Amino acid sequence: MPLSPRDPRYVETVMPSRLYLTTQRPLGRTYTTLFLALALLGGCATTPLLKGQAPSPITQKVKAEPPSSPAPSASTTATAANAQAPNTPTDAAQPPTLATTTLAAPETAGLAEEAATRSDTESLQASSADGSMNPLLLAMNKAYSSHRQGSALLVNNPHERYTNPELPAELLQWQRYFNHYLTQGGLQDTMTLAYAYPADTVIQGQQAHLTWRMIRGQSPERLEILLKQQPTDRPLITPYLALALGDARWKQGDAQGARQLWQLALSKSSWTPLTREARHRLTPDRTAAMQLGLLLPLTGSYAQLGNHALQGVQQALADYPDVPLALFVGDTQGDEIVTEKVVRGLVKQGVELLLGPIFHLEAATAARMAVTLQRPIIVLNPRKSIAEIDPASQSGRQHPRWIYLNAFDPEQQARDMAHYAVKVEGRRRIAFLAPDSDYGRLSVTAFRSEAIKLGATVLDPYYFPEESRDFSPWLKKMVHVDPDTVAQRLRRSSRYRSLDPADPPAPTDRDEVEPWADFDAIFLPVAAQQARLVAPQLAFYNVRTPTVSLLGMPLWNSPELLAEGTDYLQGAVFTDLPADRKASFDNSYRRHWDQDSSTLSMLAYDSVVTVAQLMRDMRMEELQHSYWLSLLSRGEGFAGITGPLRYMPDGRSVRSYPYYQVGNGKIIPVVLDEPQ
């Protein structure tokens, strides 16, 4: 007669309604497993998860310096070039309680997150009350619930955090927990995870795919640390880590190390799709998965920019040797008429996806042709007007989307800065000083719009000629000491004199009029040199940090910003690409091409990586090739060179941009109490 789930001799290792984790261990052997796991949970496994404490930060840094690999040969012809590579846990409604950890502190978390966390806890308690919940999982929930009450101090690195907003509720819990473990988990947390299940437990199905996609977005250093922590007799996530670290080693030029890690993944994996992927890495299929058409100016005035982007594409092809893509390169010469002819020629040759161009007019021409010829295109330009050419922008989902934009979008960066100013620093009145250019006006408009949504008051912006070095005419207006405002203030002071003898006398001439800043933040989307020049001029009018926050953009992140000291800039904040990932790409690019990378090479690289990852994921999930276009705008996005990259329904791409602060002669990452 089978045992009842309420019987103390019976312990469920999986929840009843849906299996996300499977185990081949018979029930008679689970009692010993439970005893060992509870012993760990009662001891060191729960040590870092005390109330009010964050897990011990990871301080170990593993730096890999693999031998350099030969640079791929560049091709600038418009003919085809075959781009070969160089040599659950439990029930759907109740995932393991590990997954209920919320990263944000209760005092800073949004109401929706608090409600989700409270719902998780209440449902788990209810499961425990009716005896349907594994006591082991309940103990783990208690440990992580107490930790949830503390504030986890996180470096602002959302680029390391994979999230998929379209997951069902049961997998969102696993996603929350596992993201926390990947970014902050120490050795004791690894033991908690590894020994929470029998040794032969295998993550399966949708949860396995989610686990893989979260792991592959981690940095090589973090992957190596996590892999070293895994117990040899509990390969729960070892094959995932080995496969991802092998991919990273290959990109770093360490082919031998990569193959050893792929072999480890193959030997440890019991999940068929992961096993199949490891075999593909070791013995790649040379049959082209897709034909790409590249639209770049390879001759003429902008040839250098075009060749930078081409090198980024070729490096991406080399970094994904198991996804051979056929590359057709078209030279647009930086001309609209030539661009139209090249697009037609590439489509006749059978390309399935177009990449490029760079400049606005070329890109708009190519986008119109792509819609006409019904070929998807990823444009390396952030102009919203290009995406709006697509009929899907006017008709919603009634038409398939053909146009996507992959660019570092200044509008998104400005919105992120507005969020930082209002939500993080609590600024309420914001002033604006920007160059009279498309970039300046676009950034200011996006910032103002977001700040208003967040409840801040925005003042009228001031625009100066792009090459200005003296900003006093506009600063005087901002602090009310320009001639017209001074005259008005003098007239007002003569009419309204205070009768209180303790008040200072009203100004009687221009020299007595003091600057008056009626704002607590100023947004400066200017170049680094101009930021360095405007800061002391602001200080002259008593506008200084931290009383008034100085807010910048990625243009600030230049050695020019620190060229003459940071006395007047200390405390200023700007946003930019993740420094660690950018440096990693720079090193890899320099090793391949013996020159520094550029933003265009990064964007071109990410565009090809998008396709390569999509092909890998479809192969892993055994999806038909015809589905690829519908998956390009999937909610989970892709693991780009600078972190998560997503294409939105309107065709524009979004990324995560960390914040940086000007310190004493250096740039330092901003530390936030909650992730962005």
- Inside any domain, residue 1: no
Q: Are 140 and 38 in contact (CB under 8 A)?
A: no
Q: What is the C-alpha separation between 415 and 675, in angstroms, rounded?
A: 16
**pLDDT band, very low/low/confident/very high, at 397 (cuts 50, 70, 90):** low
Same domain, 560 and 623: no
Residue 355 in contact with residue 363, Cβ under 8 Å? no
User: pLDDT category, 453, cuts 50, 70, 90?
Assistant: very high
**Residue 145 domain flag:** yes
Question: Is there a single domain that holds both residue 587 and residue 525?
Answer: no
pTM of the model: 0.71
Of 576, 608, 633, the residue at which a domain comes to its end is: 576
Instruction: Report pLDDT digits (tens) over 98-140.
Output: 333 222 222 323 333 333 333 433 443 343 344 333 333 333 3
Residue 210 has pLDDT above 60, yes or no: yes
Does the pLDDT of residue 257 top 80, yes or no?
Answer: yes
Range of the structural domain that residue 403 is part of: 290-408+580-641
Query: For residue 301, what are its two tokens?
Result: 């005035």
Sign of CA dihedral 609, 612, 616, 621: positive
pLDDT of 8 reads 40
295 membership: H or E segment, kind and range: strand 290-296
For residue 602, is it within any domain?
yes
CA 497 to chain CA mean position, Å: 56
Beta bridge partners of 404: 378
Q: Could you count the other beta carbons within 10 Å of the beta carbon of residue 43?
A: 11
Domain identity same for 275 and 325: no
Written in H, E and C, the secondary structure of 31-97 is HHHHHHHHHHHHCHHHHHHCCCCCCCCCCCCCCCCCCCCCCCCCCCCCCEEEECCCCCCCCCCCCCH
Residue written as tokens 């008593």? 542
Q: By C-alpha distance, which of 559, 631, 577 is closest to 412?
A: 577
174 and 256: one domain? yes
pLDDT at 121: 37
Q: What pLDDT score does 625 carry?
A: 83
249 near 84, Cβ under 8 Å?
no
Percent of the chain at pLDDT > 70 equals 69
Tell me: do 273 and 126 sit in the same domain.
yes
Q: How far apart are CA 256 and CA 291, in angstroms?
A: 29
Structure confidence by residue, pLDDT tens digits, 580-637: 889 989 999 999 899 999 999 999 999 999 999 999 999 998 888 888 888 888 888 8
What backbone phi and psi angles, to 5 degrees, belong to 77?
Answer: -90, 165
Same domain, 596 and 565: no
Give the CA distances from residue 254 to residues 83, 216, 251, 582, 587, in Å, rounded to whole numbers and listed in that order. 20, 17, 7, 19, 14
56 is a domain residue: no
- The answer to whether 33 and 25 have CB atoms below 8 angstroms apart is yes
CB within 8 Å of 364: residues ≥ 6 apart: 383, 385, 386, 389
119 and 255 in one domain? yes
Half-sphere exposure of 419 (CA within 13 A, CB side): 14
Between helices 205-215 and 599-621, what is the axis angle to 10°?
160
Residue whose entry in the numeric block shows the structure tokens 């602060």: 661
Average pLDDT over residues 439-457: 96
Per-residue pLDDT tens over the stretch 516-545: 788 999 999 999 999 999 999 999 888 888
**Mind listing the pLDDT tens digit for each residue in 642-662?**
888 999 989 999 998 999 999
Strands 377-379 and 403-405: parallel
Q: Say which residue the tokens 């094959």 belong to.
A: 239
* CA angle, 319 then 323 then 328, to 5°: 90
CA-CA distance, 491 to 413, in Å (whole number)?
43
Indicate if the pLDDT at residue 489 is higher than 80.
Answer: no
Same domain, 529 and 594: no
pLDDT band (50, 70, 90) for residue 74: very low
**pLDDT at site 509:** 52
pLDDT at 225: 95
pLDDT bucket at 446, cuts 50 / 70 / 90: very high
Residue 487 located in a structural domain: yes
User: Is there a domain that residue 213 lies in?
Assistant: yes
Q: How confident is the model at residue 162 (pLDDT cuts 50, 70, 90)?
A: low
294 and 392 housed in the same domain? yes
User: What is the mean pLDDT of the segment spanning 384-388?
Assistant: 93
Tokens 């984790």 label which residue? 21
Residue at 427 is within a domain:
yes
Q: Would you place residue 24 in the very low, low, confident or very high pLDDT band (cuts 50, 70, 90)?
A: very low
**Cα-based distances in Å from 334 to 80, 162, 296, 299:** 21, 37, 8, 8
Per-residue confidence at 16, pLDDT binned at 50, 70, 90? Answer: very low
Domain shared by 255 and 206, yes or no: yes
H/E stretch holding 139 reads helix 135-148
Total domains in the fold of the chain: 3
pLDDT at 542: 86
Comparing CA positions, the residue from 232, 238, 244, 175 lying closest to residue 20 is 175
Q: Which two tokens stand for residue 453?
A: 């949504």
Q: What is the C-alpha to C-alpha distance for residues 93 and 113, in angstroms, rounded to an integer?
A: 17
State yes or no: pLDDT of 7 exceeds 60: no
Question: Final residue of a domain: which of 528, 546, 576?
Answer: 576
For residue 675, is it within any domain? no
Residues 362 and 433 occupy one common structural domain: no
Residues 595, 520 share a domain = no
In whole angstroms, give the CA distance from residue 603 to residue 621.
27
> Which residue shows structure tokens 């209920």?
100
Provide the terminal-to-terminal Cα distance of the chain, rounded to the nearest Å. Answer: 54
C-alpha pair distances (Å), 63 with each of 70, 584, 622, 643: 21, 11, 36, 19
Average pLDDT, the chain: 76
Of residues 397, 341, 393, 396, the one with CA closest to residue 369: 341
Three-class SS of residue 567?
A: coil
Among 253, 282, 311, the domain boundary falls at 282
Q: E strands, 486-620, where? A: 521-523, 549-551, 573-575
The CATH number linked to 326 is 3.40.50.2300
> Bigger pLDDT: 383 or 498?
383
